[in-house]
Chain A
């Protein structure tokens, strides 16, 4: 799965994770910071991680509190897990 495909799947998840829905999509770039730029709450972050586990069939077994500052960091983690 390419980096861009992973990003597209993440966008799908973010639509359901956040009540702003599709309006959030314009903000989602690899450089966007999950909390500061996208404004995701702690629960939304938990939702994002769980949704990624379910969607990609991976397990976040080595994740710290500050593991994913940006969307690109999440993509890189998934890419690493899938490869």
Chain B
């Protein structure tokens, strides 16, 4: 579907751009553009009570903006309802309320009238943008004494950890894996059990749902999780940023480093530290 400032015919989808969003309507004639609510200008917002399906003339619909008309491709032409049916449907809904900015807005309305299918591409685009946003989160916690290995998943990893002879290193490894579970849940809304964990040749653990890196230093455990490859060092040198508390330096490297957020985990609670704790 292309949008062009072209002549309109009855049954066409029309839209105007207001700032960064579009307002849609069904064109029935110069005196009749049927739409779900008035165009959301500041003036209309102030005077409009409950948002309802209504008809206005084309000038009120346009409110000084350029009116674009949908140019349907061949597949869309086949899929669309006949123009007179579109106009009939739109007219039959005048006075209908139940507007919802996300789930029942002006674009849902025109798509229902033209294609018989309620959808909103603006909402779909924004939701896609949210779901594909860069994620690179670093979780830190002081390593407590006597971490329990009971909840470590998978069992193979638990057995590996139990073979570590040095008690302090073993305790740190347990703590790290528990912190990874917290990070997976907080940043990716998943448990390790469902994240597709596997052990690569060479010994490194990876998972399908996200990338991660684990390390510890000076009694602090650190886990980085990202939807791009990520690496992490504590007490490193070079481009490190030093936390005031605890006194460790952190190197994070990866494609999404610009979006790094830092969290502090303590007693099961996770607090966003942002980057305000850095000197």
Chain A residues engaging chain B, CB cutoff 8 angstroms: 8, 11-12, 15-16, 22, 25, 41-43, 46-47, 49-51, 53-54, 59-67
Contacts and interface: CB of A to CB of B under 8 A. Distances in A.
Contacts of A53: 102
Nearest to B124: A50
Q: Which of A12, A25, A49, A65 has the most CB of B within 10 A?
A: A65
B150 to A, nearest CB: 26
Interface string B101-143: 1110000000000000000001100110111010000000000
7 contacts: A16-B133, A42-B20, A43-B126, A46-B122, A60-B100, A64-B51, A65-B37
B102 to A, nearest CB: 5
Contacts of B37: 65
Nearest to A51: B130
Contact of A49 (B102, B272, B276): B102
A8 B101 contact: no
B261 interface: yes
B82 to A, nearest CB: 32
Interface of B: 18-21, 37, 40, 45, 48, 51, 99-103, 122-123, 126-127, 129-131, 133, 259, 261, 271-272, 274-276
Contacts of A65: 37, 40, 45, 48, 51, 99, 101
Contact of A42 (B40, B129, B272): B40
A15 B261 contact: yes
Contact of B123 (A16, A50, A62, A64): A50
Contacts, number: 70
A61 B103 contact: yes
Contact of A16 (B99, B127, B259): B259
Contact of A8 (B40, B45, B123, B272): B272
Nearest to A35: B42
A54 to B, nearest CB: 6
Nearest to B18: A42
A50 to B, nearest CB: 5
A12 B102 contact: no
B96 to A, nearest CB: 15
A65 B123 CA distance: 15
A54 B100 contact: no
B99 A64 contact: yes
A20 to B, nearest CB: 13
A22 B126 contact: no
A64 to B, nearest CB: 7
A16 B129 CA distance: 10
B211 to A, nearest CB: 18
A60 B20 contact: no
A60 B51 contact: no
Contact of B102 (A8, A43, A46): A46
